[in-house]
Structure 1
Amino acid sequence: MAAAVKLRTDYTASDLRRLAAGSRHANQSRRLLSLAAVLDGMDREQAARIGGMDRQTLRDWVHRFNEQGPDGLKDIRAKGGVARLTAEQLRAFGEIVETGPDRARDGVVRWRRIDLKRVIEERFGVVYHERTIGKLLKQIGFPHISARPRHPGQKVETMEAFKKNFPATLKAHLGHVRKRKPVEIWFQDEARIGQKNGLVRQWARRGTRPRQPADQRYESAYLFGAICPARGVGAALAMPFADTAAMQAHLDEISRTVARGAHAVLLLDRAGWHTTDKLRVPKNITLILLPSRSPELNPVENVWQYLRANWLSNRVFDAYPDIIEAACDAWKSLTATPAVITSIGMRDWAHIGQL
């Protein structure tokens, strides 16, 4: 058996125990206690057990202690490899990811890690493993998420122009309203709720795939909903059809919910039952139509997402009355929390002076 390595003599056992008590590194502390036991004359095998190691490992730490002192007993943290892509190359890579692939040139409609591996190799001459591409994407702020649907005919510039010019639009539509009359901004939309229901994401143990009931029947109803984000209130009706009669009933319901003495500006899309001349718009409501194919401008779209995620998805409705009951219960749960309505619905461009 090799002779025991002698410990340096400029530290006493008491010194090492004091250093162990004040150390912020647990592993350094237990190694100091083992060496203190050695200085007290304890058998080295027993001293090694104090630090949770074997005798050979203790011998290695004795060498480190003799060469570097107490700091040599700290764990050595790996510094990692040198970055293989420069900061400028990473920015260029981010632009490539954000722009997306060209179907004719790249042969795909979305980037996969194996595609980006090839792009990096061709563009920057650096070869990565496919798994590393995922880590690289997270590093530059690109998580793997689901895309939102967008109408192919949507024009972003039209939406931006509507938001920019909204104060002027509001002023033009309210020419008949007394200047001192309070004005409320409302948003309106409809959602189909039925037996052919959706499934939403949920927390589950890694490696499992949760199952939820999914009905294949087609019985459904329509929830007409409107919110006033500034007040945190809403008005809704559950109806069997989405038509002019249902819209008229909803307008009347909104009119009754508008604050007494106030005038409501109701922003809504261009569905046929919104634009028909057969509607009798209440005197305390003015309609403003949103640009075509612009659901992003209507926060009620986000309200539907919120209701489905929390109360309407992952369930089966036996019959039409159950659909109506579920829709009403979900809306009541929403209106019971005015702060949620405000949080979902407030828009800088629409609520100038109300934020």
Structure 2
Amino acid sequence: MHFLKDINFPLLIAREKNGRMRTRLMALSHIKNGANRTQTAHYLHVSRRMVNEWVTRFNAHGLDGLKEKNRSGRPRALSTEQLKQFKAYVLSHAIKPDGGRLKGTLMIIYVEREFGVSYSLTNIYRLLHQLGFSWLTSRSKHPKQSEEAQETFKKFKTQTINAIPGHISLNNVDVWFQDEARFGQQNTTTRLWAETGTRPRAVKQQQFEYTYVLGAVCPSTGASGAIIAPYVDMTIMCEHLSLISKRTELGRHAVIIVDGAAWHQSYLADKFNNLSNKKLPPYSPELNPIEQVWQWLRQNELANRCFEGYEDIVEQCCRAWNRFISDNKRVVNLCMRD
């Protein structure tokens, strides 16, 4: 037999996060304070039968009697092995060999053909979420891209450091990622929240004024550096390298990862004794995390708007970049790679 007087219900109620359990505790608290079961049911908007059941379970088993029992629920239509097979099918056919994407209707046909189980479209989507799938936008991939070259590049660190003139240890090297992007009146529109069934309109200019933002970030420290220029060439690139050189702490060496643009020549770094650069494999922009910086700037700051002219574009790009780097944690999280 368990006694209500021995329980500190206000403390338990304050700590309880489960709403149903909190209701049961409140019911017993009311009874402990002198309310009868009918009054308690009225206070909590529940049936008197439920209050009777909670009291009975408490008297028999204490607070453990109020806990919900594990519900077995309806048995799964597919076995564990069948779920593994279905997941492998989705992973291997997400992009069809002849082009296009794997649709829910094709998944329904596959499950019915392979396992003899019929699913509705809603339930096939629910099953995908249970298996860890999400509806995502794919990243672009160049048809000439070499996965072998990418895997070789990912092992660049030790080889690059060994080639640095002088004695530089692994712990004194900062890896920077550099790139440039064009922003201007040929602007982008983005997805946004709106009422179901509506399609809001966003401004998209047709003029041609633009500028370039040259940006660089060091994910390990959160350091960054950017310049804005009306065009890009080797002279502008040298100015950016000079900025990165000044942002590199004394006694450290910066290895700058760049793409294969014509103005990213390796000899441009020779005039700086604290940095060197290394090119990405061809057709591999996804290896450069600063691509996500450009996406962040467009999605959060520069899309869905008009620019009056060149000076306005420059001013808004400066504000957008400064807002991005104002949160060091955001810089690191967005650009860090294993």
Q: TM-score range by the shorter chain?
A: 0.7 to 0.9
User: Cα gap change, 1:70/1:296 in structure 2, threshold over 3 Å: closer, same or farther?
Assistant: same
Alpha-carbon shift at residue 50 of structure 1 (Å): 8.2
Check conservation: 1:101, 1:108, Cα contact below 8 A: no
Alpha-carbon shift at residue 166 of structure 1 (Å): 2.7
Listed one character per residue, the Cα deviations across residues 34-69 of structure 1 (whole Å, up to 9, x for unaligned) are xx979xxxxx9x99988869xxx98xx69xx89xx9
Check conservation: 1:251, 1:282, Cα contact below 8 A: no
Matched residues, percent identical?
Answer: 35
Q: Which amino acid in the other structure matches residue 283 of structure 2?
A: R
Q: Which amino acid in the other structure matches residue 283 of structure 1?
A: F
Check conservation: 2:237, 2:263, Cα contact below 8 A: yes
Whether 2:283 is the aligned partner of 1:293: answer yes
Match of 2:271 among 266, 282, 302: 282
Which residue matches 1:167?
158
Distance in 2, matches of 1:132 and 1:332, equals 45
Alpha-carbon shift at residue 164 of structure 1 (Å): 2.4
Q: Secondary structure, in 3 states, of the residue corresponding to 1:145? A: coil
Which residue matches 2:15?
none
Listed one character per residue, the Cα deviations across residues 309-329 of structure 1 (whole Å, up to 9, x for unaligned) are 222222221211111111111
Alpha-carbon shift at residue 307 of structure 1 (Å): 2.0
Distance in 1, matches of 2:321 and 2:41, equals 66
Distance in 1, matches of 2:316 and 2:280, equals 29
Check conservation: 1:252, 1:282, Cα contact below 8 A: no
Check conservation: 1:189, 1:225, Cα contact below 8 A: yes
Alpha-carbon shift at residue 184 of structure 1 (Å): 2.7
Q: Which amino acid in the other structure matches residue 222 of structure 1?
A: Y
Check conservation: 2:96, 2:102, Cα contact below 8 A: no
Which residue matches 2:60?
none
Listed one character per residue, the Cα deviations across residues 105-140 of structure 1 (whole Å, up to 9, x for unaligned) are xx7621111111111111111111122111111111
Check conservation: 2:269, 2:276, Cα contact below 8 A: no
Whether 2:302 is the aligned partner of 1:333: answer no
Which residue matches 1:183?
173
Which residue matches 2:142?
151
Which residue matches 2:80?
87
TM-score (norm 1): 0.73
Check conservation: 2:213, 2:227, Cα contact below 8 A: yes
Check conservation: 1:114, 1:130, Cα contact below 8 A: yes
Question: Structure 2 matches for 1:120-159, cutoff 5 A?
Answer: 120-159=111-150
Q: Which amino acid in the other structure matches residue 123 of structure 1?
A: E
Listed one character per residue, the Cα deviations across residues 323-343 of structure 1 (whole Å, up to 9, x for unaligned) are 111111122223333333233
Mark the runs of 5 or more structure 2 residues left unpaired by the alignment.
4-8, 13-19, 58-65
Distance in 1, matches of 2:181 and 2:145, equals 21
Query: Comparing 321-330 with 246-255, which one deviates more in the overlay?
Result: 246-255
Whether 2:252 is the aligned partner of 1:262: answer yes
Whether 2:304 is the aligned partner of 1:309: answer no
Q: Which amino acid in the other structure matches residue 134 of structure 1?
A: Y
Distance in 2, matches of 1:159 and 1:320, equals 38
Which residue matches 1:222?
212
Q: Secondary structure, in 3 states, of the residue corresponding to 2:166? A: coil
Q: Secondary structure, in 3 states, of the residue corresponding to 1:274? A: coil
Listed one character per residue, the Cα deviations across residues 265-324 of structure 1 (whole Å, up to 9, x for unaligned) are 2111111111386x4743222121111122222121122122222222222212111111
Query: Comparing 333-342 with 116-125, which one deviates more in the overlay?
Result: 333-342
Alpha-carbon shift at residue 102 of structure 1 (Å): 7.3
Q: Secondary structure, in 3 states, of the residue corresponding to 1:114? A: helix
Listed one character per residue, the Cα deviations across residues 152-184 of structure 1 (whole Å, up to 9, x for unaligned) are 222223212211243123312x0x233469433
Check conservation: 2:217, 2:223, Cα contact below 8 A: yes
Query: Comparing 329-338 with 221-230, which one deviates more in the overlay?
Result: 329-338
Rg: which structure is higher?
1
Match of 2:230 among 207, 231, 240: 240
Q: Secondary structure, in 3 states, of the residue corresponding to 2:260? A: coil
Distance in 1, matches of 2:289 and 2:210, equals 23
Task: Figure out how many residues of one structure are paired with residues of the other and give that number.
Answer: 314
Query: Comparing 208-217 with 296-305, which one deviates more in the overlay?
Result: 208-217
